[in-house]
Chains A and B, each alone.
Chain A
Amino acid sequence: GAGVSQSPRYKVAKRGQDVALRCDPISGHVSLFWYQQALGQGPEFLTYFQNEAQLDKSGLPSDRFFAERPEGSVSTLKIQRTQQEDSAVYLCASSPWADTDTQYFGPGTRLTVL
């Protein structure tokens, strides 16, 4: 079946622009995670949804970052007034249950802020 998909795969933004990154999890997956991966580093947790409920947003670096999953499937990560330090790969992962083990990752969106 289809895996986790993300769009766009690449995004170039001018500093100060708003961007929206989309994640389509595997159909039926309850849990959805967003991570940020800087060059040469491991992914860092941003936020976690269980269905439409955002249960943990402790990793969001500032109030410019906002995530939603209104119908419990597709999720959008929005970054307002982008800064150069926001340049990174943004990864989305989903897992089947609330108490599951394995996280399945999408290919990521590479954001470059000029």
Chain B
Amino acid sequence: GIQVEQSPPDLILQEGANSTLRCNFSDSVNNLQWFHQNPWGQLINLFYIPSGTKQNGRLSATTVATERYSLLYISSSQTTDSGVYFCAGGYSSASKIIFGSGTRLSIRP
């Protein structure tokens, strides 16, 4: 099955800083998603990005499918960005997705 590795496991930054989170996959995936889990436990889908680059405000993501990794960029961090960021991948859009263990991001004011 698919193995998902995320790095770094923990990241502490000052407000306003930029960050890059990485996700490596053991196998090629056709379904790749990034999620943010806020401190109250709610999972919010950020991007569906099996390949290419997408941007949404201060967040952007890039997936290099041929090399089986994806990057999530957060610019000008705000305290509300704190939480755990997960990537997840699956073989198809209609199948289960396998989550990584997450990157815990803490933004200090």
Contacts and interface: CB of A to CB of B under 8 A. Distances in A.
Interface residues of B, number: 24
B43 interface: yes
Interface string B34-48: 010000111111001
B36 to A, nearest CB: 11
Nearest to A101: B48
A100 B93 contact: yes
Interface stretch (B56-64, B66-74, B75-83, B98-106): B98-106
Interface of A: 31, 33, 35, 41-45, 48, 50, 56, 58-59, 89, 91, 93, 98-105, 107-108
Contacts of A98: 94
B24 interface: no
B96 interface: yes
Given A104-B45, A107-B42, A42 B33 contact: no
Contacts of B96: 33, 45, 48, 56, 58-59
Nearest to A105: B43
A80 to B, nearest CB: 23
Contact of A42 (B41, B44, B99): B99
